[in-house]
Amino acid sequence: MEEKMLMKGNEAIGEAAIRAGCHFYFGYPITPQSELTAYMAKKLLKMKDAVFVQAESEIAAINMVYGAASTGVRAMTSSSSPGISLKQEGISYIACAELPCVIVNMQRGGPGLGSIQPGQADYFQATKGGGHGDYHLIVLAPSSVQELVDLTMDAFDLADKYTNPAMILGDGLIGQMMEAVEFKERKKINLPDKEGWTLTGCKGREKKYIVPFNLDPYEMEKLNLKIQEKYNKLKEKEVRYETVNLDNADLIIVAYGIVARIAKTVMSNAKKEGINIGLIRPITLFPFPEKIIAETSEKVNKFLVVEMSMGQMVEDVKLAVNGKAEVNFYGRVGGVIPTQSEILTEIKKYLK
């Protein structure tokens, strides 16, 4: 077993990525994720056959990832909210080209230049596509530094498995905080062979090309349907979530990432006052854990969705609940983190 290390969230992502075999990183500085870019520079520039490029822009960085991924290597870029907006064009191309890569978004308060404090207001952008066209990313939402490590490694596997870009959707708080982490020995898993699509030069074979377009609308529709098929498979096989105390709960909190951590404190404080709270914490935001939410809504009739946004994930919760329970929302935005006491006050409003 590996020893535990004390690491900052952003740096832990970097170490996890390198250990997952990602030796190709292209980035651009932005708060609050710059430690990740710096960590990759420090490590990759000293490694053999590894590449670190500080790109001229977020746009260039994601397109470098596109190029590197087309040759079959594990490639990554990272940024925070405004920078992720800039990458959207490239992400749409990569999704259409069906190439695997990992994109990290350590969200900050928005919109516009927003703030540099943590936020969760990029949920729509991350889970609904973000760029133009019908596509989805595999979106993983860690709520601790340990989970940043584990999910970063998983993200590379999932991206390879589904030849689709995967996103780590964290926030400035998880990125900046330090916690003990362990880089566990991972089970070897079988991943599909990349040889069929990688561009390596056409020695001994026919030429290959990667073109994320087709001017024949029927062919383009076929491509859309093929990609859609992957999303259906993801929904069927890769949904992840954590549940706490669902039985006999008076109210269910649905929260992801750092807010779910706060919700756990809310639960134990509420318990002292005789209020029984349950928690559903989506770990995959796409595919969204709609089934467990739907099932729970048959048993518990009050939900409270808490987000650092004006109400984004709450829409997916409402779709899953489908009118079977009352779905309420509480959010703080712009970089403000909700406190456990204000969440508890909110809960009490609905349990009168």
Partner 1 sequence: MKKVFESPKSLTKDPFTYCPGCHHGIAHRLVAEALDEFGVREKTIGVCPVGCSVFAYVFFDCDMICAAHGRAPAVATGIKRAKPDSIVFTYQGDGDLASIGTAEIVHTANRGENITVIFINNAIYGMTGGQMAPTTLVGQVTQTSPYGRDPKTMGYPIKVAEMLSTLKGVAYISRVALSKPAYILKAKKAIRKAFQSQIEGKGFSLVEILSTCPTNWGLSPIEANKWLEENMIPYYPLGEFKTPEEVS
Based on the shown chain and the rule CB under 8 A, indicate whether residue 201 belongs to the binding site for partner 1: yes
Q: What are the distances in angstroms from CA 276 to CA 121, 126, 209?
A: 29, 32, 57
By the 8 A CB rule, do 109 and 121 touch?
Answer: yes
Site residues for partner 1, 90-149, by CB under 8 A, read 90, 93, 97
Least CB distance from residue 213 to partner 1, whole Å? 7
Based on the shown chain and the rule CB under 8 A, indicate whether residue 60 belongs to the binding site for partner 1: yes
Judged by beta carbon, residue 58 or residue 150, the one nearer partner 1 is: 58
Judged by beta carbon, residue 97 or residue 292, the one nearer partner 1 is: 97
Least CB distance from residue 122 to partner 1, whole Å? 21
Helix or strand or coil: residue 283? coil
Based on the shown chain and the rule CB under 8 A, indicate whether residue 63 belongs to the binding site for partner 1: yes
Tokens describing residue 327: 């779905």
Binding partner 1 (rule: CB under 8 A), the pick from 112, 196, 204, 323 is: 204
Based on the shown chain and the rule CB under 8 A, indicate whether residue 208 belongs to the binding site for partner 1: yes
Binding partner 1 (rule: CB under 8 A), the pick from 31, 41, 71, 318 is: 71
Judged by beta carbon, residue 103 or residue 279, the one nearer partner 1 is: 103
* Binding window for partner 1 (CB under 8 A); candidates: 57-65, 252-260, 270-278, 308-316: 57-65
At position 349, the amino acid (one-letter code) is: K
Q: What are the distances in angstroms from CA 147 to CA 8, 74, 142, 283?
A: 12, 20, 5, 10
Judged by beta carbon, residue 66 or residue 303, the one nearer partner 1 is: 66
Helix or strand or coil: residue 249? coil
Binding partner 1 (rule: CB under 8 A), the pick from 38, 59, 239, 337 is: 59
| Dist. CA 256–CA 139, nearest whole Å | 12
Q: Examine residue 32 and say whether the peptide bond preceding it is cis (omega within 30 degrees of 0).
A: yes
Based on the shown chain and the rule CB under 8 A, indicate whether residue 48 belongs to the binding site for partner 1: no
Based on the shown chain and the rule CB under 8 A, indicate whether residue 51 belongs to the binding site for partner 1: yes
Based on the shown chain and the rule CB under 8 A, indicate whether residue 41 belongs to the binding site for partner 1: no
Binding partner 1 (rule: CB under 8 A), the pick from 65, 103, 141, 174 is: 65
| Dist. CA 151–CA 161, nearest whole Å | 15
| Dist. CA 209–CA 84, nearest whole Å | 27
Based on the shown chain and the rule CB under 8 A, indicate whether residue 212 belongs to the binding site for partner 1: yes
Q: For the purposes of burial, counting CB atoms within 10 Å of the CB of 189, is it exposed (0-12), middle (13-18) or buried (19 or more)?
A: exposed
Binding partner 1 (rule: CB under 8 A), the pick from 7, 75, 270, 283 is: 75
* Binding window for partner 1 (CB under 8 A); candidates: 199-207, 229-237, 248-256, 320-328: 199-207
Binding partner 1 (rule: CB under 8 A), the pick from 7, 69, 126, 155 is: 69
By the 8 A CB rule, do 124 and 312 touch?
Answer: yes
Least CB distance from residue 59 to partner 1, whole Å? 7
Based on the shown chain and the rule CB under 8 A, indicate whether residue 210 belongs to the binding site for partner 1: yes
Judged by beta carbon, residue 61 or residue 266, the one nearer partner 1 is: 61
Q: Give me the torsion for CA of 177, 112, 283, 6, rounded to 10°.
A: -10
Site residues for partner 1, 312-351, by CB under 8 A, read none
| Rg from Cα positions in the chain | 20
**b/e per residue 211-250 (b: at least 16 CB within 10 A):** eeeeeeeeeeeeeeeebeebbeebbeebbebbbbeeeebb
Least CB distance from residue 61 to partner 1, whole Å? 8
Element holding 280 (H helix, E strand)? strand 277-282
The contact set with partner 1 (CB under 8 A) reads 24, 26, 51, 53, 55-57, 59-61, 63-71, 73, 75, 89-90, 93, 97, 199-204, 207-213
